[in-house]
Amino acid sequence: MPQVYYVEKNSLDEFAQRLRKEFTVFVPVVKEQTFTKETEYTYKRLSEAQPLAFNPYRNVEPLKAFFTYSLEKAAEYFNGDVPEMPEEKTVIFGVKSCDIAGHKIQDFVFLEGVEVDSAYRLRRENTVLISGDCTDFKSVCHCLAWEILPHPTSGFDLNLSPLNEGYLAEVGSQKGGDLIQKYKGFFILAKDAQISARRQKRENLTERLKKHLFPQNLVSKDSVQKLMREGYHLDTWHNFMLTCVECGGCNFICDTCHCFLLSDTPEGQRNARLKLWDSCQYGNYARVAGGANPLKTRAQRLRFRFTKKFDFFVDNLGIPACCGCGRCIEVCPAKIDIREVLKDLAKKLNVAS
């Protein structure tokens, strides 16, 4: 049984303030200027005496932005092997289940394989993830389609579930357990009734989300790889790409997309190697010296993005690289909807959803 504690709202505020003394603490806040009907949340550094806000659903920014940066210095050469990386210890509140699911992909890429990305590992080690149950959802949310529940079940250090005038805090790791121990004055062991109440709230939200998704007739986790394999030559890729403006927004906002580019630049006496997020929707993404380009058309690139998510990762990690957060749907100026692309393939291939 996981350890679950109850913490009063005021105590949690005080806990967060104490954390500020040893960590940089990021918390969800309402994003002031948005162009959407829904309230948007973003991460901000916690300031003194600021009470914690609870985000009912995921923030605008993907979690990956704390671990790989849109632009960073990956190396300076030639000066040995150790990059200068004074990284702060960080606590992030407001992480959601989809973020954690997406993060599995980032971990797989940067922590596993032939070699480990040291900067990523350092940031990961220095970060405490304090997640929270979703208590509402955005219209684009579809985590359940990928069998991801709207409350985290693993992958967090602490998870908060709102309950009455406080929260239940579940310990998900040694790091989380240590924090509770250190600040044990704030936390009291949860009662069975409180845990039952949490279960009820979770089930209610899951049911509501199911009802929201049911009419959408979404593609299932099990059929998606088949769609990639058999739908390779369908006109879906072309049709959906007609409006694409190649901004790369879908990749950059995606919690699972991890592609980057290394680019060198002279910098004083040293040479810097920059690491930048890259987008497979850009025309020169796969181009090689001499001009050959296996991804010449936007249709090929859309298909590449999808086969990466739904074929490559299913083969290599056993899960699709989509967490159903819907960020790519919101960000796309051309209204290309990942759900609709998959549904179109399924329809044309006669695959039941």
Partner 1 sequence: MKNIYSPIEAVIEDIIVETPTIKTFMVRPGQEFSFRTGQFIELTLPGAGEAPFTPSSDPNCKDKIELTIMNAGRVTQMLHNAGKNTTVGIRGPYGKGYPLDRFSGKDILIVGGGVGLAPLRSLLFSLFSRIDNYNKVILRYGARTPHDIVYKQMIPEWSKIKNVDVLVTVDVGEPGWGGNVGLVTTVLKDLPLEIKNAVAIVCGPPIMMKFATLKLLDLGFAHSDIYLSMEKNMSCGLGKCGHCRMGRYYTCKDGPVFTYEEIKEIPEIWE
DSSP for 24-54? Answer: EEEEEEE-SS-SSSS--EEEEEPPTTPPPP-
Closest contact distance (angstroms) between CB of 226 and partner 1 is 14
Cα–Cα–Cα angle for 230, 232, 234, rounded to 5 degrees: 95
Closest residue by Cα to residue 42 from 20, 24, 58, 25: 58
CB closer to partner 1 out of 42 and 271: 271
CB closer to partner 1 out of 29 and 119: 119
Query: What is the rounded radius of gyration, in angstroms, for the C-alpha atoms of the chain?
Result: 21
CB closer to partner 1 out of 139 and 297: 297
Closest contact distance (angstroms) between CB of 110 and partner 1 is 6
Residue 107: exposed, middle, or buried by beta-carbon count in 10 A (0-12, 13-18, 19+)?
A: middle
Closest contact distance (angstroms) between CB of 348 and partner 1 is 17
CB closer to partner 1 out of 97 and 256: 256
Q: Torsions phi, psi of 224, nearest 5?
A: -70, -35
Residue partners of 249: CB distance under 8 A and separation at least 6 = 328, 331, 332, 333
Closest residue by Cα to residue 183 from 1, 54, 2, 13: 13
CB closer to partner 1 out of 54 and 67: 67
User: Which residues sit at the interface with partner 1, rule CB under 8 A?
Assistant: 74-78, 80-83, 109-110, 113-119, 122, 232-233, 258-266, 271, 273, 275, 278, 280, 285-290, 292-294, 296, 300, 304, 307-308, 311-312, 315-316
Closest contact distance (angstroms) between CB of 287 and partner 1 is 6
Closest contact distance (angstroms) between CB of 98 and partner 1 is 21
CB closer to partner 1 out of 58 and 258: 258
Distance, C-alpha 101 to centroid of its chain = 7
Closest contact distance (angstroms) between CB of 282 and partner 1 is 11
* d(C-alpha 51, C-alpha 287), whole Å: 50
Closest contact distance (angstroms) between CB of 325 and partner 1 is 20
Closest contact distance (angstroms) between CB of 124 and partner 1 is 13
* d(C-alpha 63, C-alpha 50), whole Å: 22
* d(C-alpha 281, C-alpha 305), whole Å: 8
CB closer to partner 1 out of 230 and 340: 230
> How many Cα atoms occupy the beta-carbon half-sphere of 64 within 13 Å?
29
CB closer to partner 1 out of 40 and 117: 117
CB closer to partner 1 out of 211 and 233: 233
- Cβ atoms of 6 and 73 within 8 Å: the answer is no
Residue 8: exposed, middle, or buried by beta-carbon count in 10 A (0-12, 13-18, 19+)?
A: middle
